[in-house]
């Protein structure tokens, strides 16, 4: 007697689940405890393991909702007769979602008794009609791809998920290789509308933008805040940058345009390296310097993470890289990933950042060395770092001279201003309250 693999209930309000991906092919033998498939619901995503050993047959189609308790596949023992695919109860709801279809024993595509069942309108408003699986449509929609431009390799030319993913990867390779059209103009500068006293100038890190400072700004006690966005980030133009020196010059020009007498300067990661370079050349205009996990103090850097962030084309690929930035992965919610991915849907932005990443971090190293500049700093300065930083080793901070204060946090990764903003804010207030 075959063993049913049922759709589990992983959430109290869950009425159905969707098989996102099968990890086992039809007819393949699996051991008990082997990852069988991924399930997606409105609130959760998880991996489901086999509760028994056997040969997988009649798996439900990927991307189709199945009611809780309904079988998604069957596990047969050696020599058991397969017979006809068991009938599943269709899920009826307001959206009139299709009922699950059995999958052929030679591939991952659902078997259609009638060819017209899978000929559906193209999802992007075109009059053309294409044949595609639900999962392929979902992936194409997320990646903003036209299904009419994708050749299907499934039965009767049906477009499968693997066809769309291949197109996404091809576009990524093309985007990385092409030269974006460089723009011109000043870097984007945004200011808070209220606040009193000496302003605080913030420079974000690679792959981020001015919005990344929001958690920290709440702790700046109403001081004027000025945010400078790097080239190819946020609303700044996509400049052609050929060296760290050239990038530093762009930041220096933006700072000079502020037309302020003095300011407190804060930089994170690459922005920290740029803040240090700025303080070295504009020392009379800097009241204090705060470097958060700064670059430029050693060659080591997590090159794959930087490259992954710069080239991610959808939330599913960006999310895992964002989690590398923090110690507690739960801080990187689905909403956070979607917000971070929104501007990255622009291929030109990704191309500009990918080129900047290759320019500044060739072969995954930091070629620019700012330790000498750190030795020359003569304003109140401090370095803030998380000891679980997986992007830049926190031990680079130990190369700072004795006149620079070090603040090292356990259980914090590469983004202290996001992970422990209250603690970072407290440090900044101690500096700013003692300054004019």
Is the distance from CB of 298 to CB of 396 less than 8 angstroms?
Answer: yes
Is the distance from CB of 357 to CB of 206 less than 8 angstroms?
Answer: yes
Is the distance from CB of 302 to CB of 390 less than 8 angstroms?
Answer: yes
- Give the pair of three-digit tokens for residue 141: 């929609």
Instruction: Give domain status of residue 182, yes or no.
Output: no
> Which CATH number is 159's domain given?
4.10.320.10
Q: Kindly tell me the burial class for residue 236, based on how many C-beta atoms sit within 10 Å of its own C-beta (0-12, 13-18, 19 or more).
A: buried
Instruction: Give domain status of residue 275, yes or no.
Output: yes
Instruction: Give domain status of residue 397, yes or no.
Output: yes
* 119, pLDDT greater than 50: no
Distance CA 319, CA 233 (A): 18
- Give the pair of three-digit tokens for residue 250: 């762009």
Boundary residue ending a domain (90, 111, 132): 111
> Which CATH number is 337's domain given?
3.40.50.1820
Residues 362 and 216 in one domain: yes
- Number of domains present in the structure of the chain: 3
Q: Per-residue pLDDT tens for 245-272? A: 999 999 999 999 998 999 999 999 999 9
- Give the pair of three-digit tokens for residue 196: 């009193």
Residues 196 and 306 in one domain: yes
Is the distance from CB of 386 to CB of 263 less than 8 angstroms?
Answer: no
Which residues are CB-contacts of 392 (< 8 A; sequence separation ≥ 6)?
269, 293, 294, 295, 298, 300, 301, 302, 366, 414
Instruction: Give domain status of residue 183, yes or no.
Output: no
Q: Per-residue pLDDT tens for 55-88? A: 988 888 888 888 888 899 989 998 888 766 666 5
Residues 62 and 128 in one domain: no
Is the distance from CB of 147 to CB of 187 less than 8 angstroms?
Answer: no
For the chain, give the percent of residues with pLDDT over 90: 51
Nearest to 310 by CA among 199, 231, 207, 398: 207
- Give the pair of three-digit tokens for residue 257: 């345009």
Range of the domain at 314: 189-432
Q: Per-residue pLDDT tens for 6-52? A: 888 876 777 888 888 788 888 888 898 888 888 876 655 677 888 89
> Which CATH number is 36's domain given?
2.40.50.100
Residues 47 and 164 in one domain: no
pLDDT (0 to 100) of residue 43 = 57
Instruction: Give domain status of residue 184, yes or no.
Output: no
Q: Per-residue pLDDT tens for 190-238? A: 998 777 889 999 999 999 999 999 999 988 877 899 999 999 999 999 9
Q: Per-residue pLDDT tens for 265-297? A: 999 999 999 999 999 999 999 999 999 999 999
- Give the pair of three-digit tokens for residue 341: 């991915």
Distance CA 123, CA 143 (A): 12
Instruction: Give domain status of residue 233, yes or no.
Output: yes
> Could you tell me which residue, 415 or 109, shows the higher pLDDT?
415
Q: For all residues of the chain together, what is the average pLDDT?
A: 84
Residues 347 and 248 in one domain: yes
Boundary residue ending a domain (153, 177, 201): 177
- Give the pair of three-digit tokens for residue 55: 């040969």
Across 13-106, where does the E strand assignment appear?
Answer: 16-22, 29-30, 35-40, 45-49, 54-57, 65-67, 71-76
Is the distance from CB of 275 to CB of 225 less than 8 angstroms?
Answer: no
Enter the pTM of the model: 0.62
Which pLDDT band holds residue 116 (cuts at 50, 70, 90)? very low
Residues 227 and 352 in one domain: yes
Is the distance from CB of 132 to CB of 124 less than 8 angstroms?
Answer: no
Boundary residue ending a domain (84, 111, 138): 111
């Amino acid at each position: 007697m075959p063993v049913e693999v049922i759709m589990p209930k992983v959430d109290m309000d869950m009425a159905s689940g969707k098989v996102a991906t099968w990890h086992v092919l039809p007819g393949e033998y699996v051991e008990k405890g082997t990852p069988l498939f991924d399930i997606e619901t409105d609130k959760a995503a998880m991996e489901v393991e086999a509760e028994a050993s056997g040969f997988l047959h009649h798996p439900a189609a990927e991307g189709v909702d199945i009611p809780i308790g309904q079988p998604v596949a069957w596990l047969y023992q050696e020599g058991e007769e397969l017979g006809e695919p068991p009938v599943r109860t269709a899920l009826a709801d307001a959206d009139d979602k299709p009922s699950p279809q059995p999958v052929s024993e030679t591939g991952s595509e659902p078997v259609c008794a009638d060819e017209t069942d899978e000929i559906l309108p193209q999802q992007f408003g075109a009059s053309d009609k294409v044949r595609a699986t639900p999962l392929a449509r979902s992936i194409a929609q997320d990646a903003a791809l036209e299904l009419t431009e994708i050749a299907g390799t499934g039965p009767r030319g049906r477009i499968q998920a693997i066809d769309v993913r291949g197109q996404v990867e091809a576009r990524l390779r093309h985007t990385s290789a092409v030269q974006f059209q460089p723009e011109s103009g000043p870097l984007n500068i945004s200011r808070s509308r209220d606040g009193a006293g000496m302003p605080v100038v913030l420079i974000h890190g690679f792959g981020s933008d001015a919005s990344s400072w929001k958690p920290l700004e709440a702790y700046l006690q109403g001081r004027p805040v000025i945010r400078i966005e790097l080239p190819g980030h946020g609303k700044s133009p996509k400049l052609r940058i050929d060296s760290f020196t050239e990038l530093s010059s762009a930041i220096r020009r933006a700072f000079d345009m502020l037309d302020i007498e003095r300011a407190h300067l804060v930089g994170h990661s690459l922005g920290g390296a740029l803040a240090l370079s700025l303080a070295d050349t504009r020392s009379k205009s800097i009241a204090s310097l705060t470097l958060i996990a700064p670059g430029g103090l050693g060659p080591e850097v997590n090159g794959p993470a930087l490259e992954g962030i710069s080239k991610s084309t959808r939330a599913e690929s960006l999310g895992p890289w964002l989690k590398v930035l923090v110690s507690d992965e739960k801080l990187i919610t689905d909403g956070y990933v979607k917000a971070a991915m929104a501007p990255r849907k622009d291929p030109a932005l990704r191309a500009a950042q990918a080129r900047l990443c290759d320019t500044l971090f060739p072969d995954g190293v930091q070629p620019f060395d700012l330790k000498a500049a750190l030795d020359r700093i003569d304003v109140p300065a401090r370095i803030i770092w998380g000891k679980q930083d997986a992007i830049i080793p926190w031990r680079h901070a130990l190369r700072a001279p004795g006149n620079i204060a070090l603040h090292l946090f356990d259980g914090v990764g590469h983004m202290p201003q996001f992970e422990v903003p209250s603690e970072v804010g407290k440090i900044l207030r101690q500096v700013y309250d003692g300054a004019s």
